[in-house]
Homo-oligomer: A and B are copies of this chain.
Amino acid sequence: MSRVLILGGGGMVGQKLAHRLLADGLNGAACEITLHDMAFPPSGAEVADQRRGNLADAGQMEALAAEKFDVIFHLASIVSGEAEADFDKGWQVNMFPTWRLLEGLRAEHEADEGYRPRLVFTSSIAVFGGPYPDVIGDDYLSAPQTSYGAQKSICEAMISDFSRKGFIDGISIRLPTICVRPGKANLAASSFFSGIIREPLNGVEAVLPVSDTVRHWHASPRAAAGFLTHAGTMDLGLLGTRRALNLPGVSCTVAEQIEALREAAGNDVVKLIRPEPNETIMKIVEGWPRNFDPQRAISLGFRAEKTFAEIIQVYLDDDLPKP
């Protein structure tokens, strides 16, 4: 039975992935799951092996590498805002543990050349920085404008090189902004993209801090779990030496998001969105990509929603709290 480790397994996407693996297994076969994170939700995925730990602690990544998991999903990082506010912590959490993990896996490979684990790393569209073309193609440069983006970009380069050398079989997937995130708003500047859908659907007022002409790139939590399991099982040889991938998503404006919400839930729900322009958030969001043409990922079988209406439906199906 495949042994699977999810780093960041307590987070929203990690939990979605764990639920998916519990339900469908990996490649149609059941797998043994280990979750690693600082904390876990109280009624989360029913995985017996849940390890509390800090991936930045000395020896932590080396010890995990020594367990020779077959597939490692590396989703753990501090978010963009925190990496920006605490420069040192950003690098110590978002970069160096990945290096130590890779070195640990290389040591296991060198001791046993048959061992070449699958590593799926969640990178981000934060590796890009403006000015952008209207549509970002697969061969557009990385030019991060945050430390978080720089750290993701660097981990991508390491994972590509360790893969090229045959020590691991790795891939970095650049997730779109995940929307609609269940649960509470968080401090990310992107939080409102989920908030303006989620709060009204729950009868709560939501603040819209930007103009409704803002265009951005989205995929659902369900699509994220699908990206991860596909990346965990597909033939990565098809990627050649370019092992960082832009993923499919839905490009739409906030106005289009709101229209989709109106169609799904009616005018009274939409009335719960209150415009309250926030210069700081507007300035941050201005620097974000608006649209992609992810031909490689699509040809490699990665799938996301086609419309924002589908993204809302996923929230209604999977995450809307039942009364």
Chain A residues within 8 Å of B, Cβ to Cβ = 87, 129, 133, 139-145, 147, 150, 153-154, 157-158, 160-161, 164-165, 241-242
- Chain B hits for A160, CB < 8 A: 143-144, 150
CB proximity of A281 to chain B, nearest CB, Å: 19
- Chain B hits for A141, CB < 8 A: 139-142
Kindly identify which residue among B129, B133, B153, B242 contacts A242, using a CB–CB cutoff of 8 Å: B129
Q: A140-B139, A242-B129 are in contact. Are A150 and B145 (CB under 8 A)?
A: no
CB proximity of A194 to chain B, nearest CB, Å: 27
23 A-B contacts (beta carbon < 8 Å): A87-B165, A129-B242, A133-B139, A139-B140, A139-B141, A140-B141, A141-B141, A141-B142, A142-B142, A142-B157, A143-B160, A143-B241, A143-B242, A144-B160, A144-B161, A145-B164, A145-B241, A147-B165, A150-B157, A150-B160, A150-B161, A153-B157, A157-B157
Alpha-carbon distance A49/B42, docked complex (angstroms): 63
Alpha-carbon distance A30/B144, docked complex (angstroms): 37
CB proximity of A162 to chain B, nearest CB, Å: 9
Alpha-carbon distance A146/B87, docked complex (angstroms): 29
CB proximity of A151 to chain B, nearest CB, Å: 8
Kindly identify which residue among B140, B144, B158, B241 contacts A154, using a CB–CB cutoff of 8 Å: B158
- Chain B hits for A129, CB < 8 A: 241-242
In the complex, the 7 A-B pairs of residues with the closest C-beta atoms, listed nearest first:
A150-B161, A150-B157, A154-B154, A139-B141, A143-B242, A141-B141, A154-B157
Alpha-carbon distance A242/B242, docked complex (angstroms): 22
Alpha-carbon distance A281/B242, docked complex (angstroms): 22
Alpha-carbon distance A241/B147, docked complex (angstroms): 12
- Chain B hits for A145, CB < 8 A: 164, 241
